């Protein structure tokens, strides 16, 4: 997540790569229900009252898993904005919800700030983080690759200090996505993210 590319150019390339203009989600089997992780405020990390959603083995492919994730996220209105990894320091985003699609390798992460929820992710897993959720990479394989995506018209920031009243208000104003990044508008996210944020 060290470099942000021009989102319009990236989205145009993804749209051009879609098969026959059809949404990939319509041809994919329904994923298993996501694991829900409920994180409380932790030290300077605000976290969120909305649950983190973890889809295990959400996608499997013998082809280009990164491109497959990008097509799926785009079809479900979470356009990808980068390919990279996860920062090795604790941080959160106050201006956007985030989906992390793990396209190659594996990594050990911590969610929710220092001493938070330890988690190992593998290629094919997908993690959906509500705004304010702390995350950090502890270790990763050399081939670890992540696709980072956000709901349409949301742009991420990086916060590494305690949330001020202004930051908390900014997090409260982040729109609820109308679509699950894996299963679209009929997927679990719109049903599970119903409580107030922050």
Q: Does 106 map to a domain?
A: yes
Residue with tokens 């009929």: 186
Mean pLDDT, range 25-39, rounded to an integer: 74
Residues contacting residue 185 through CB under 8 Å, at least 6 positions apart: 178, 179
d(CA 101, CA 34): 14
Cβ atoms of 130 and 99 within 8 Å: the answer is no
**How far apart, in Å, are the Cα atoms of 30 and each of 23, 57, 59, 107, 126?**
14, 12, 10, 25, 14
- Residue 43: DSSP 8-state: T
Q: Which residues of 152-191 are buried (b: 16+ CB within 10 A; e: fewer)?
A: eebebeebeeebeeebbebbeebeebebbbbbbeebbbbe
User: What is the tally of structural domains in the chain?
Assistant: 1
CATH at residue 123: 2.60.120.10
Please give the model's pTM, rounded to 2 decimal places: 0.84
Question: Is 2 inside any structural domain?
Answer: no
Residue 28 in this model has a pLDDT that exceeds 60: no
Collapsed DSSP state (helix, strand, coil) of residue 39: coil
Mean pLDDT on 43-70:
94
Residue range 72-91: average pLDDT?
A: 97
Mean of all residue pLDDT scores within the chain: 86
The pLDDT-based confidence of 198 (bands split at 50, 70, 90) is low
The gap between the terminal CA atoms of the chain, to the nearest Å, is 24
**Residue 3 maps to a domain:** no
Report pLDDT digits (tens) over 87-131: 999 999 999 999 999 999 999 999 999 999 999 999 999 999 999
User: For 138-177, what is each residue's pLDDT tens digit?
Assistant: 999 999 999 999 999 999 999 999 999 999 999 999 998 9
Phi then psi dihedrals of residue 12, to 5 deg: -65, -40
Which residue, among 107, 109, 118, has the nearest Cα to 141 in the 3D structure?
107
How far apart (Å, rounded) are the C-alpha atoms in residues 71 and 40?
A: 33
pLDDT score of 27: 40
> CB within 8 A of 10, min separation 6: which ones?
79, 80, 81
Range of the domain at 75: 10-192
Tokens 């942000």, located at residue: 4
Is 48 among the domain residues? Answer: yes
Is there a domain that residue 197 lies in? no
Residue 178 vs residue 139, higher pLDDT: 139
What confidence score (pLDDT) does residue 63 get?
A: 86
DSSP 20: G
């Amino acid at each position: 997540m060290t470099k942000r590319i021009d989102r319009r150019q990236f989205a145009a390339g993804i749209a051009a790569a879609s098969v026959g203009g059809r949404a990939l989600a319509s041809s994919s089997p329904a994923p298993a229900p996501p694991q829900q992780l409920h994180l409380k405020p932790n030290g300077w990390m605000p976290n969120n009252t909305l649950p983190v959603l973890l889809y295990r083995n959400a996608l499997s492919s013998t082809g280009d898993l990164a491109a497959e994730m990008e097509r799926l996220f785009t079809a479900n209105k979470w356009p990808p904005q980068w390919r990279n990894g996860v920062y090795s320091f604790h941080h959160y985003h106050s201006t956007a919800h985030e989906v992390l699609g793990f396209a190659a390798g594996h990594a050990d992460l911590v969610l929710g700030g220092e001493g938070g929820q330890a988690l190992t992710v593998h290629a094919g897993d997908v993690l959906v983080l509500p705004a304010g959720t702390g995350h950090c990479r502890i270790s990763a394989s050399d081939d670890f690759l992540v696709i980072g995506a956000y709901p349409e018209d949301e742009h991420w920031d990086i916060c590494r200090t305690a949330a001020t009243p202004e930051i908390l208000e900014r997090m409260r104003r982040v729109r609820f996505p109308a679509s699950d990044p894996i299963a679209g508008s009929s997927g679990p996210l719109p049903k599970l993210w119903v409580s107030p944020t922050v």
